[in-house]
Each structure stands twice: as structure tokens, then as C-alpha cells.
Structure 1
């Protein structure tokens, strides 16, 4: 009998093998059949310092011996209080309020509800949300609504609300996007939500920091709330703690997850300014912020996040990130010279290339062939259609990093995978 597990983003009808992972350490996964697999995408962008980081694992074990779970509506606990204070110290002012949730998608749902609640409670209801073309913000209903319409959500279109779509600021078309945003903001929308500097699931599409800064300026000029979804980019992926730092931008609302716990356990936060909190602050119970989940601010997850913050405060994390980015740049440069590679690009510890002919899409037949090649060679890479990207844990050593790029080169050169010209 086959496993009863229904895996995400997996077409079980294809009968593709699903490895059983038994344990992990650093940048390496170990499988039940004895394979050593290099985690080249940080297990879907979550693992920052490496799997089973000792400080984070110790914090989880200690907290599990004290308090496992407690309702967070009207109650609190020390790990959450410590984490909230630590985040406020680390994140830019005027972000001063921390709302806990469970995942990147739910942190986006919280952000959207905060934005709508802000305007409603001010007696100035605004309902429209603006978003960038090709965006991806998660798989819950609100998050899908502000993401690109297509294969990810076509079947669920009746559930999705309408949004204002701003063209992606592609090279030499940045002003087109900015002009469209300026026009849309004149219609007094509630908020703009963006993935700062790089669109992840949309194909690792990079745009300039200056464009991000100008988008923020336009929103501020029109009193449109600016939501930064840093679920992927936060915690150093782009070279700084937040991608917004590189543009000198501070959002009104900030979404964080994935690397918040070093990738060890699920947790998310949505940070907001005092003005957004104040719009919900009242003696009128009908104006409270109506959102929660059963596991909001789980103490064990908060303890893991506190250990992650301590690592950032006490260890040279940014230096490690810079060194990794420098090593990746050398490998990417060698890869970029190959005739089968297009649009080689890098942002911090994220690199990406297009392979094969044509633009391709998420359902490109090239993607599964590449996936099989990497799996057969003990590397965890999940191409986005014909886009191959690398986003490893910061602890990866040079031998394993070189192996990743060598196998990308081998995949491109293999005619069996349809990549060579």
C-alpha cells in the first residue's frame, strides 16, 4: 500500500520517488537509503544557519520542559514577551507592534486585515489592495488574491478578491511600473504589498533598490499603506537583515517568517507602526483586531526564535552571508559563460539562471527533468520551470557549494535534459 500522505506541490499521479529523510545537520540531509543530500534551497527557503543548529535545538528542548502551549488571547508568556522586545530592538523604527501567527501566508493575511481595519476604524474605508505582477505571497485565500493569477490558483478563482495589478519593474521598464503605481494610488487604495527586491516563486525576478524606494515614496505621498512581505528575503537572504534596508525603506507593515526561527519550527510575525495599532485601540470591543490561530505565539517556537535572535546579536552572521555571497558569485560567473544559460543573476545569497530555450513557465516539461537530475545526484534543488535557483544555508562549505554548481552545469550540458543547444 502506498503512503497515505498527500504532499504539497506534488502530482502523485506521476509516481515520482519521494525520499524519506531520517536526519539532517548543517546543509546536509540524510535519507533512509543511506544518501547524503545537499540542501541547496534551505528546505524551501527556511533554514538559515543550518539544520539542527545547536543553540536553537537547545532552546527548543529547554522550553519544551517548561511550557508547551498556552492560549495567547488575553494571556502571555515570557518567550513571546522576550521575542517581541527583541524584534522591536532589531527592526527599524517606527515598527513598534508585533502580532504573532504561524506561517508566511498567515502573516500576509494578518497584514491585509490590519490595513483594511486601519482604514475602517478611521472612518475612511478603503478596500483595494495593490500588488506587483508575478507576485507570490502564499496559498491562503487573501495571500492568493494578492499573488499572480495562474496555475497556482486558477481553480480557486471564485474565492479570490480583485486587486490592482502593478507591472513588474523589469529592466528598462521601471518607470512604467512607477507611473502605474502613481496612477493607482490616486484612486486611494488601502495598501500596496510587495516582495522587496526579488520575487521568489514568480521566478526569482530582481528589481533595483532605487525602484523599491520610489514605490515607497509614492505610497507615502498618497497615504497608501506599504506592506513589505519579507517572508523569504528577511533574515539575511539578500545580504542585509532585511531587503528593505538596501533601499532605505521602512514599511508600515512588515511580514516575517521562515528564518525567524532559523527555519527550525513554524512561526511568523507581522510588525506594524503605532498608528496602525492605535487605529484598533479603543474601549469599543468591536474595534479590536479580529484574528488569531490556536497556536499563536507558541512558546516552543518563540524560544527557537529567541535563540535565532541571539545568534544574530552575538555571532558574525552578516560576515558569513557576505562570504557565502562572494563564493557564489564566482560559481555563478563560471556558469553564466555557458551558452545554455540566460539571465544569470544574484542578490545576496540567492542566485538564479534560466536554461533551455523559450521563456518557460512553472509547468514547463524541463522542470521535472531537471528535478530528476538533481535528485539522482543527491542535491535538493526545485527549479521554477526553467529557472534554476540556489539559496543554501549560510553554513554550507565550499566543497558542497561547488558540487551544487557543478551539477547545474552537468544538467545544462546533458542533452537528456533538453538544455544544451
Structure 2
């Protein structure tokens, strides 16, 4: 046996440790060189780790949710394995691993009745072929159940066999009775350990809570802006569709030219304020994985359409889970918006170590007095929070007032620098 330890590589500048969020392999699986074997989270990004070697997985060095230091062993493999195309059974006596899953597949059946295949399954399904496309965890479970993957119709991408496909095979063999029986805690309380992005969000929010926030709310009439946006989107020139965000990006960058102290990051430990010439604008984005803040770099450059295209690209990458660590770090000020669900007023939490965040609430129709006469207006509130250690109330008010002026008179957006 030629045992080899695969260690956690340097996955980002300044990163000392990472959390294991997904194992793609289990003990006994055959791992090919460059095949992803785990996903780890560092700071705000999830990083996929490819194997530097081929071999059989001997043991895992951590459970899901554990933190591993850079340079520490993640798993051990037997290099004596010639090829992962020749399946071999799990090594006898290997330590059990309680948390292992495929990143794209549903969780495996855990009910005891499903862990052992019915006799008619083993008799009706030939065993031995492992050439079907499937994740290592699915392959191992199929071996344990005595199911030939080649006999299973995969419903995943490119015909990949999923855990749900194995479930369907078992259901068919048991006459339509699903083997998975939901378990309920005796005390009626379901307890889930926070891991991955959700735990990261919880910790960052706890840290941000220590900042002395103050929130400033201002109403903005956006009738002229919405008319301009509709006109530009109706041009039919094939350019990206414009939402409100690109206009707000332009307004924020112009207002920051007069208030550069808000385009900053504060290090409380060293009591140092860093001001930035370039605006790296965080765009808070809700994803199926949790809240992420992709960064629109050099937001002071470009035009409305280039901003729209980049914001859409970043949002799609964040939603699909393919966004990189560099695309999630380095923001200097943040915009947060829930679109049509944005409510009337909110109290955004500062994306530390930044000192300001601009919150966008939904647009609603309001009856307002214009020259003494009631008129219907489209109104949107900006609910923005500031670090009161750095930003005085007057400075915040002047900054938001400048943004309001730019949005209410959108021609000014194209006159500035």
C-alpha cells in the first residue's frame, strides 16, 4: 500500500483555514486525478478541490462542518490503485464517515429498510458494471445496495445517475412503496447544525452587530427615471435590459466623488481607515445557498449597459454556485435591494469592514402635493445605514441627498465625470 495524504491547498490570499461543506467521495471510493473530491468554504466563497493523484480513498480527515487549516491533511488515498475505472469494494476495517454527500444529488436514503436491498432487487438486477455516469457517493451506495448502475436510468445532466434514481429503483422493486420513512424527533424539535454559508452569514452578522449603526431614510420620486429606463429598454438595440440597479450604481459613484470618506473600510483593531479611489461596489444577492455579495469592480467606469451585463453575470454565478472567491471579496461599499419585495423601509446591516450600505426599497404609487395640487407619483425609499464611528449624520444626509438629486433628475447622471 502506498498511502498518500491530500492536504488542504492555499485557496485564497490570507486564508488560514477552510470549512468542509461537502464530501464528494467516501471511504473505498476510487478517485481519479483532477476529479473533485470535496468543497470547502473560505470567507464567503465555496471552493471545489480537485485531487492531485489517483487512488482509493482510505479515510477522511474531517467531517462536514469541521474547519481544516491550510496544509493539514484532508484525506488519505492508496496510490497502488491503477485506475478508478476498475471498481473495488470498500476497504475492510475502514473508519466510518457519518457525513458524506454528492453536491448535486439528493441525500441518500438513511432508513434501515432502505440500507439493505430487498431480496428481489438483488435477484432481478445484475451486479458488477460501474461504468455509468455517477458521483462517487452514488457509486458506493449502489454497491452497498447491490444495484448495477448500468441498469438504472439516470435523470441527471448527461444521464448522470442520482440518489433519487436509486430510490426510484428501490420503489419499483418494492411494488411502489417508498423505502424512505420520515423520522420525527421524540420531542418534536428538529435540530440542525449550521454549516457552510449559513454559518458564515451568522458569524458575519454577529460581528456586524457590534458596529454602531445609524439608518437614514429618504424618499425619492422616480417617475422621470422610470420613464427614461422604459425608453432605453424599448430601443430594441439588443443591449442588456436595464433594471434600476445600473442607474443607482451610476448615482452612487458620482456622489462618492464628493464624499470619498464613504468609499472606505475601517479596521477597528488598528483603528485605521482605508479610503479607495476606485469604487468596488458590492451587490447583495439572495441565492439558494444564502446571501452573497458579488463585487462590481471599478464601478466608476463603464456605462449603464456594461454594469447591467456584469451585475446579471455575477448574480447568475452566485445563484449557480460557480462564483469565485475573488468575485466575492474586496468591496468598498454595498447596495442591497429586494426588488419588488423591498418593503417600505428597512435597516440594512453594514457589510463590514465597509462604513456604508445603501438599501433600496420597492417603488410604490403615492399621492403627493405638487405646486399645491395632488398628483400621483412613483416613490422609492432609500434606507441606508452608516458606521457612526466614521460617518457623521450630516455627511450621510448630504450623500443621500446627492443620490436623490441624481435619480430625480436623471439627466444629471450623464453630465458628471
TM range (shorter): under 0.3
Instruction: Give me the TM-score of the superposition, normalised by structure 2.
Output: 0.23
Structure with the higher helix share, 1 or 2? 1
Structure with the higher strand share, 1 or 2? 2
Instruction: Give me the TM-score of the superposition, normalised by structure 1.
Output: 0.23
Choose between structure 1 and 2 for higher RCO, CA contacts under 8 A separated by at least 6 residues. Answer: 1
